[in-house]
Each structure stands twice: as structure tokens, then as C-alpha cells.
Amino acid sequence: MAVPARTCGASRPGPARTALRWPDRGSRPGLSARRPAARPPRPLSLLLPPLLLLPLLAAPGASAYSFPQQHTMQHWARRLEQEIDGVMRIFGGVQQLREIYKDNRNLFEVQENEPQKLVEKVAGDIESLLDRKVQALKRLADAAENFQKAHRWQDNIKEEDIVYYDAKADAELDDPESEDVERGSKASTLRLDFIEDSNFKNKVNYSYTAVQIPTDIYKGSTVILNELNWTEALENVFIENRRQDPTLLWQVFGSATGVTRYYPATPWRAPKKIDLYDVRRRPWYIQGASSPKDMVIIVDVSGSVSGLTLKLMKTSVCEMLDTLSDDDYVNVASFNEKAQPVSCFTHLVQANVRNKKVFKEAVQGMVAKGTTGYKAGFEYAFDQLQNSNITRANCNKMIMMFTDGGEDRVQDVFEKYNWPNRTVRVFTFSVGQHNYDVTPLQWMACTNKGYYFEIPSIGAIRINTQEYLDVLGRPMVLAGKEAKQVQWTNVYEDALGLGLVVTGTLPVFNLTQDGPGEKKNQLILGVMGIDVALNDIKRLTPNYTLGANGYVFAIDLNGYVLLHPNLKPQTTNFREPVTLDFLDAELEDENKEEIRRSMIDGNKGHKQIRTLVKSLDERYIDEVMRNYTWVPIRSTNYSLGLVLPPYSTFYLQANLSDQILQVKYFEFLLPSSFESEGHVFIAPREYCKELNASDNNTEFLKNFIELMEKVTPDSKQCNNFLLHNLILDTGITQQLVERVWRDQDLNTYSLLAVFAATDGGITRVFPNKAAEDWTETPEPFNASFYRRSLDNHGYVFKPPQQDARLRPLELENDTVGILVSTAVELSLGGRTLRPAVVGVKLDLEAWAEKFKVLASNRTHQDQPQKQCGPNSHCEMDCEVNNEDLLCVLIDDGGFLVLSNQNHQWDQVGRFFSEVDANLMLALYNNSFYTRKESYDYQAACAPLPPGNLGAAPRGIFVPTIADFLNLAWWTSAAAWSLFQQLLYGLIYHSWFQADPAEAEGNPEVRESSCVMKQTQYYFGSVNASYNAIIDCGNCSRLFHAQRLTNTNLLFVVAEKPLCSQCEAGRLLQKETHCILPALLPGPSRPARSLRAAAPLTPHPCPADGPEQCELVQRPRYRRGPHICFDYNATVRSGAAALTCSSPAPGLVRPCASPARPARADRLLLVSLRRKIPQTAAAEPLSHRRWASWCPCSCCSS
């Protein structure tokens, strides 16, 4: 029967294409009728059984080319498999390298990794390391309590009486606008000399401590001077601690007054803008100063709250959220006549970084309207705290209310929910400049074991939103020794440049009494901390005996990783802790959820699982076997795990006792041998203590050779295991050159190079000139080809990596190559291991031509091409019909490896959807590929500078012309508030809008954590060879796909598309940005990634990322600290059970009115709200700290 030719508008000219004829569309089984042009057809790939497809492949007619039959394409696939296998057998040298290892069997031993013993030993070593820090902490805390108890308070102390090293002095002297320069500092500041210390990555002085005082605290106040006076005695304890343990890093005392004294002394890392560092807001201080918290923040958004007052409230809530850690739970609600959550969170959620950012973004959307209804707000808060069906801290419970004032005391609500036990503390905050009676707010706080604060202006926010921690510390102080327990933090960035650290913390209590025979003081003096660098903990783990894919990891009670090879945070904002969950560090599955839960519960365990792993370059996914073994680290809240592939159960340990052989093999490392033996790259490992590191491998090799001329591989200052294995592998790979590579002509098989890489750290590339174009890392354990070859059987192809945003590959001088590698597996005495990887580098252009021949009807390249005669019937092939037939090799990640289309050669290495989106979608729809999506929570994003910067802070109250003409307005609180805000805006560069990272001056551009969505593809369940049709009306395409045996390649043959009507959704294989709501830019706030080469278009997480509001509905398993100090019957209300009308003897009432506390006389610094009067004549023991007596803003008078 006659059938029409396939058309799509005008047909492609050329005899080959017009001769191809198709059967009638209506006769195709399973194909739908042609759809109307007004509605473009939806692409659909239909799998047809071979028997039904065969009649469709060859249309009758004269001189016709038909789509190749299935057996033909299978024949091509076998030819490709044979060619690849033949080249690898000849040049790869797998079998020859096995024989070389066996011939040198006397030069090494096979050692076993016993997982249980290994992990227990490492856990014990980490426990010992941390225990030494714990002992130092206890000595410091005990000494601090005794020093403070013996200290005599001095009312008339002066700045010139105190001598100390001010860590910020140098920076302030360089700043003509600084506080000290302006007023002329009277303090006797030491001038110190410093020496560089690699352990601290800083210049230090071991003879003194340094003091850091927050910018917004007056250094000359009586409180601060007394604090400096008694903490000076800690200096000798710090020094003695270091004498006993020279490995100690920063030792720090963070005082509740804000003073930080640390040892050894080093200049403060002065930010480029204002320094907002306050030790009381650091993660380690917050964790050590109080037990976990369940907090509900309620914000008054009635109509009276508007303009600057509402702005102050929003900023105050954000600052309050920053005082919470991952052990805490929180929710935020607004209220007027009724209460409602400000975000999508309907219950308490963990106060982690991502949740807090959701709150901060939601708070900015609050609008003032309606009337004040305290009852609605408090009822909502108590209902939240009484919800027992959710995960929460189950410790300190509190309500924080921000309002501008009101008359209702809602006593009935407190009687219903909180009295008589008063298990929920209530803290009230009067915000803004107003004349409302604040007595009801004071009463609410003092009758519910809380505290009342005033925030009249922006300068009072930071201090007043963190001092509630003093109140929460009281039960800990009363618990005494029971509360003196060292806690270890999760990972965070050290403020002094040490990098990632964990900190052991211990609270320091006030041991004084209110008077002879009176009650015990209830104040926490501060927190003592000692840092431990993560690198110091990593040094206790086995480095190279576990192989390239084995590793050690550790997690805390939240499931956050302490150690993990994938812990690589990009952000440098040290205000935020590094909270990477174990299930986000790896690709999550049910088995890993079980392992994580068992580790959090402190159990031991072992499990072998089949799981997915992401390649080091994040382009590929492999399905692998892994053995997980875990044990708890005693005396800590950490648990340690070990991951081993089955092939890493055993490893080689060189035993080169023959010094003559050592010298012989060492000579093959000399550059003079490279021309004949191939170029050698050595892994930049720490072979010896005196070896100078370098990022340039040629320079590193030079340093290594120079050192080896002075020491022997058996030297005590060197790692003998690493050195012996390196030298052994140098000799073994040289023998591979001698036996296999040197006598072969690489050009015959179109090879650019051959290579071998080993566990011992050697990468040998032959010939020497090929090293000029070698771009792989010299550390095999960090090379993607090396790690993937170990995890996969057969030959692993790795095309050159390309980015879609960059220009295509340039094929010049035949330098672009494709790596093909495979692991060398040894069986020695029944023990199997994989100590090396060998491979070849294919010449891309030459192998593309060879690929055409292998997928054609020619048997070899010299044979003439077969032409289809005028009356013959021929099958198309990939060479003759390359204008009509697309033939490609795609790897297991979906990246183009080879193509018969010359114009696609420069696209090799790109994701195939960028080359042929229609065909890649069909392969995916037919299960040749499976998609895996994951999220990178360690990325850093930076917003671009806004284009429309105004002169004044946005959101500020703007007076009308009538206001300016009204004399009364100039004397009002609004005018003063506006004036003060403008001054603060000039000083603090718009605090309301400034990003904390920018304020603290860390990066050049503001950066913060964001989420990157990653998408990878890997081979699906289909292994068979079959044909399919991409249904697209008149533009349908036939294609054939088949996996190549013993490789990671997919061979695809398809008709080239005639038209673009079938262009559908394109599959993506790249990182896309899913910016957290708090970072989502507005019209003037675009965003860009620190990784990106060009600005990106950001989108909110709910669109393409993990929906945070859904994630909190199914929280991951966690455990909080095992002990809680939240209630004690003897805890006093207010600040010290004193009223303002009856101050302690010798104290003068510090303010004229409970509603109007005295202003600070300086706009630059925030006044100490509870400053002890200078006129106080005598000071009882209980008043050695300003917070131990009751100011008028605490209780009703």
C-alpha cells in the first residue's frame, strides 16, 4: 500500500530524507489520531513490542532508506562494547597490574578494618580529648565563683584604676568617630606584642587575656569596671590550664554583663562597619546560661501601634528570636481583638535557622489595626504551651508580650491557665514613646515570675530582648551542683577566625547571699567556654586506611552532624550556627532514618544497607552497598558512626624495609624520570610535619623531594604509613609503564593518555606531555573518577564537565579528552580489595569518527562507505545518514559522551536535555533514567545592592507640614523619637534594614544561608534493548536505546526531529536556587549566588523547594538535653523580691517615675537600664551586681 511521506510544513530537502516513507498513521497500533493545530500535541513516548514495530520500519518503495532494525542496532552496540573492552584490556593494564601486585607480595601486608573496634577506639579518643577540656572548664568555673565571692564591690572605682588589654582598642583608635576617641578614654589599656600561632590561625600573646566589651555598653560604668576588676584574676587560671594542656584553644568567660574575657590575648577582628558582637547572643552562651525553652511571642497590632512603634516591635521580635537555639521551640502570633499566628506555623516549632527566618519574614508583614485585646493574645499563648501533641522542649515555658500599653490585667486568664503554680513565666515589653500607664504590664510580669522591660527606642532593643536569660538562670543557680554540667554545642563558626568549632560550656553562679543568714543569691554570673576545633577532632579519625569512599561521621541529639565529609558550609555569617542534619548531609532513605534515631538514642549498632550516594562533583548518583557502624561518645551528647564500602574491609600497608629498594622507587618521583616513566602527581597529604604544603603540585613535589633528602621514610616526624605506601605505589605504577604502556602506540587507538591512580596517593600519567592537559585533582580520594570507579563495575566514562552558561568546548590540538577508568580488584588469600584505578583518555574528535564507523554498515574505517542503489532497500546507519539519523552515547548521569553529529562535538559533557530536550524526556519517560532531587542547605546567597537607596530609613514615621508648624509637636515624644531615630540611623546605617552579617562586617557582600535544589539522573530499571516512538503528530520520531554492557553508557539511535512543534518541558540537571522566605528579594532586592557566574532568578522555597510549613508537621526525631531546670519554689518574682518603694538599704531609687526611666545621656551607646547609682553609700553583698536589686521598671510601686 502507498503511504504518505512524513511532513511538518515544508519537508527537509535532500534525496535521503524524501526517500524515507512512513506507514499510514491510522494503521499504527496505539497511536492517537492527529490533533488539531490549535492545540499542540502533548509529547508521549510509547513502547511498542518488536513484533508490532517491525512492519513499520521498512516501507516498500524504490530506493528507500528505513530506520535500522533492532538486531542491526544491537549489532552496533556489541561492536562498541568490544572496541571499548579491547582498548581497556590492551592499555588499561588491569590484569597486568594485578600480576604486578602479586609479584611484589613481599613488599606489603593486607590489613583489616574491623568496624566495631575502629569506631570504639575513635570514640574513646574523642572522649579523652573532650574530657581534658572538661577538667579545664571546671577549674575555671570554680575559680571564677570563688574570685567573685571574695571580690569587694567598689562604688567609686574609676577607669584609670583598671589595667587590661582592650581587644578593640587598636581598631577604635584608628576610628576617629569611636566612643573612646570622642570622650577621651581614661582606661589604662595595655599595649601588647603578638606572635603568629598556626593553632589559632591568629597572632596571640600567651601572657595576657583580652577583653571585648559590646559597642552598646559603656565601658566606664561602675558595673563594667567592677566586672573587669574581679575577672582579672582568671588570667592566671587560663595560663595554668594551658600549661597542663598545651592543646587548649580559646578559653573564654562570657559575663552576664556583656564583658568577654578570653585567653590568649589577640586583637579583636574589627569589622568594617559597626561591631554588634555580644557574647550573650552567641550560641554557646545561650546554651550554657539556661535550660531549653518553649516560648510564645505575642505582638500587639492594634490601631494604636503604628509607625515607629510597630517598626520597633518587628525589630524586637527578630532580636528575640536570635536569643533562641536549636534546643528551643517557639511560635509568634499577633493580636488585636483576636489572635492569629504571623506565619504558617500553627504550633510551636524548633527554633532552628530556617524556621526563625520564616518568622522574621512573616513579622515584617504585620499591620496595625483594631483594638487591643490582651485576653485573646494570652489565651492563644497558653493554648500553644498546653498542646502536648507536638514535639517541644518541655522545659522552661514563657510568654513574651510586646505592646505599647493597655489597662487590662487579664487576671482571669492567669487564674485559669497559670495560677497557683505559675509554671509559665510572663515577660512584658512596653515599646515606643508614650504616656500610657504601664502598671498593668508590670503587674502581669511580676505576678507570673517574669520581668517587665521598656523599649523606648531602637538602642534599647538588643539589651532588653536578651536579659530575660538572667531570670531563666535562677533555677539553675538554686539547683547548685546538679546544674553544673558541661554541655557541648553543635557546630558554629568561631568569631576569632578559628574556623568551625564546638564549645564546651559550664555556667558560673553567684555564690554570695543577700545578707548574713539570708537566702542564697539567684544570679548567674556568666558562662565559661572552651573551644575545640573540628580539625582537632578529625585528626583522631583514620584518614587513609578507610579508602576513598569510607569515612567517619558524628551527630548530636538534634541529628546535626559534628563530623561528616559533606559538612562544608558556604556561609561565613558566624551569627548563625551550622545546623546540617545527617539526613541532609546524605541522600535520605528509611535505613538512614533508623540509623539516625538509634544514634540519637545513644545505642550501638551495625547495618549493611543499599543506598544512593552523590558523586563528589555532584553530577552523578550511584547505588552502592555500605556498612554503617555506630557507638555513643560517652560523657557527651554526641554519637560516632563509621561508613565502609565492602571493598574497603581490607587495605594495603607497605613494608619497605629494604632501603635500597626505597631509594630505587623514590627515584621514579624525580622529574628527571618523567619523560620515560610518565608524569607523577602526588597527593598533597601531611606526610611529615615539616613538609610545606602548596596548592601547586609541582611545587609540593619539589618540597617533598627536598625534605626526603634530609629525612628517611622511617623518621619519627613523618607518617610512616603514608610514606611507605606512597613509595611502594610509585614503584608499582612504574612497573606498569615498563610492562604495558611504554611499548604501545597510543595514537593507533586515538588515545591522548593512559593513567593509574592509587590509594597510596600516586597518579601516574603517560606520556609526560599529557600531564599538561591533566585537570583531575592530584588527590585520588578527592577525584570523582576515582571514587566512582571503585563503586561501579566495568568501565566508567567521564566526559569533560561543561556548564550551560559557559561557551562550548574548543577542539584545539586534540586536547579535549574523555576519561575511561576502571577499578583494579585484587584477591589475596581470600581477601578482596581495590587499591588502584587505571584508565585511558580518549581523543574526543578521533573517537567521534570511530563511533560513526562502529555504528555503521562498514566493518572498518578503511572500507568504503556503502551507497544505497536506485532500486535498493537500505537501512540507515550513523555514518552515511548522519543528516537524518542521530546516534549518541550518553552516560549514566545523562551527559553527552559521543555523537555522530559534528556540530555536537563541542557540546560533549553537557546534560543531554540541553542538546535534544525531546529525546531526553522520552528516555526519562521510558524509565531509562530515574530522577533524584535533593537540597543543599549549606549554600550561601548574596543579594545584589538595591538600585534605589533612599536617604532615610524605610518605614520611619514621616511628620506632616502641619506637625512641623505645630510648636506642641516639637515637644512631643513623637518628635523626640523621630530625632533620635534619625541620629541612630546615621550611626547604625539603618539598623532596621541592615543585615546582621553586613553590620558585623564579615563579607564584602551580605551573604546568608540559602537552599539550592539539586537534580541528578541515574540509570533506571530498564536494561533491555527496545524501540519506541515519541508521539508528536506529524513530528513523531522513532528511537532505539540500549545499555552497553560493562560500561556506564547508553547507546541511543533516533530520527532527527523535522520540526520544533514537539518541544516540551526541558529536564534540568543543575543547581537552582530556592531562597528561604526571609531572603526572598523584593523589587529592589535581587539575589545572586556566590557560586553562580551570573545573577540568578530566585524563587521562594514553596515553589521548588522543601515547604517549611509542611516539614514542621512531620519533624525529624530529636532529643533535648536529658536534664531541665525550669522551676524552683524559692525562685523570686521580679528581680529580687524587692519593690521600688522599698529599695535595699543604702540604695537610692534610680528613676523618677515607673513609666519614664531615665534616658542615656549618649546617643551612640545604649544606656545601662539598671545602672547602680553613684550615690550609693554602702553596698550589701547581694548588690555586687546591678541586676540583683529591683529597679522601678520591674515591679509595680
**pLDDT per residue over 28-69, tens digit each?**
333 333 333 333 333 333 333 443 343 344 444 434 678 999
The C-alpha angle 129, 134, 135, rounded to 5 degrees, equals 105
**pLDDT for 1024 beyond 90:** no
pLDDT of residue 238: 97
CA gyration radius, the chain: 36
**pLDDT for 414 beyond 60:** yes
Residue of higher predicted confidence among 1005 and 342: 342
pLDDT band at 399 (very low <50, low <70, confident <90, very high): very high
Question: Parallel, antiparallel, or unpaired: how do β-strands 605-614 and 251-255 relate?
Answer: unpaired
pLDDT of residue 20: 31
Write out the three cell numbers for 6: 512524513
Full 3-state SS string of 16-59: HHHHCCCCCHHHCCCCCCCCCCCCCCCCEEEECCHHHHHHHHCC
**pLDDT for 549 beyond 90:** yes
**pLDDT per residue over 1043-1094, tens digit each?**
999 999 999 999 988 776 566 678 887 766 554 443 333 333 333 333 333 3
The C-alpha angle 780, 786, 787, rounded to 5 degrees, equals 105
Element (H, E) at 453: strand 451-455
Q: How far is CA 519 from CA 14, 749, 1137, 1147, 1182, in A?
A: 103, 91, 11, 19, 10
| Neighbouring C-alpha atoms within 13 Å toward the C-beta of 397 | 19
Q: What are phi and psi of 389, to 5 degrees?
A: -95, 10
Give me the numbers of helices (H) and strands (E) for the chain, helices first please: 34, 44
Angle between helices 720-736 and 659-666 (to 10 degrees): 60
**pLDDT per residue over 159-186, tens digit each?**
888 999 999 887 655 554 555 544 445 5
3-state SS, residue 1125? coil
Q: Running DSSP on this structure, what letter comes out for residue 282?
A: S
Q: With contact defined as beta carbons under 8 Å apart, do 536 and 778 qualify?
A: no
1168/1177 Cα distance (integer angstroms): 20
**pLDDT per residue over 236-281, tens digit each?**
999 999 999 999 999 999 999 999 999 999 999 866 667 788 999 8
pLDDT of residue 698: 95
Q: Which of 1059, 1066, 1052 is nearest to 1033 (CA)?
A: 1059
| Average pLDDT score over residue span 1113-1133 | 80
pLDDT of residue 1085: 35
Q: With contact defined as beta carbons under 8 Å apart, do 813 and 799 qualify?
A: no
| Average pLDDT score over residue span 1016-1033 | 83
pLDDT of residue 518: 59
Q: Which residues, including other chains, have CB under 8 Å from residue 597's CB and lie 6 or more apart?
A: 1117
**Which of 400-404, 463-467, 630-634, 897-901 is predicted least confidently?**
463-467
**pLDDT per residue over 899-908, tens digit each?**
999 999 999 9
**pLDDT for 131 beyond 50:** yes
| Average pLDDT score over residue span 848-856 | 94
**pLDDT for 588 beyond 50:** yes
pLDDT band at 1126 (very low <50, low <70, confident <90, very high): confident
**pLDDT per residue over 670-685, tens digit each?**
999 999 999 999 999 9
Q: What is the mean pLDDT of the chain?
A: 81
926/1021 Cα distance (integer angstroms): 10
pLDDT of residue 1183: 32
CB atoms within 10 A of CB 830: 5
Reported pTM: 0.84
pLDDT of residue 687: 96
Q: Which of 293, 258, 294, 517 is nearest to 1187 (CA)?
A: 258
Element (H, E) at 1054: strand 1049-1055
CB atoms within 10 A of CB 207: 13
| Neighbouring C-alpha atoms within 13 Å toward the C-beta of 470 | 26
pLDDT of residue 338: 95
**pLDDT for 1040 beyond 90:** yes
**pLDDT for 657 beyond 60:** yes
Q: With contact defined as beta carbons under 8 Å apart, do 923 and 911 qualify?
A: no
Residue of higher predicted confidence among 450 and 13: 450
**pLDDT for 18 beyond 50:** no
**pLDDT for 716 beyond 50:** yes
Q: Which of 411, 470, 391, 404 is nearest to 436 (CA)?
A: 404
Q: Which of 555, 717, 581 is nearest to 639 (CA)?
A: 555
1013 burial via Cβ count (<10 Å: 0-12, 13-18, 19+): buried
Q: Running DSSP on this structure, what letter comes out for residue 805?
A: T
| Average pLDDT score over residue span 441-452 | 95
Assign residue 547 a region (left: φ > 0; alpha: ψ between -120 and 50; beta: otherwise): left
Cell 568577654: give the residue: 260
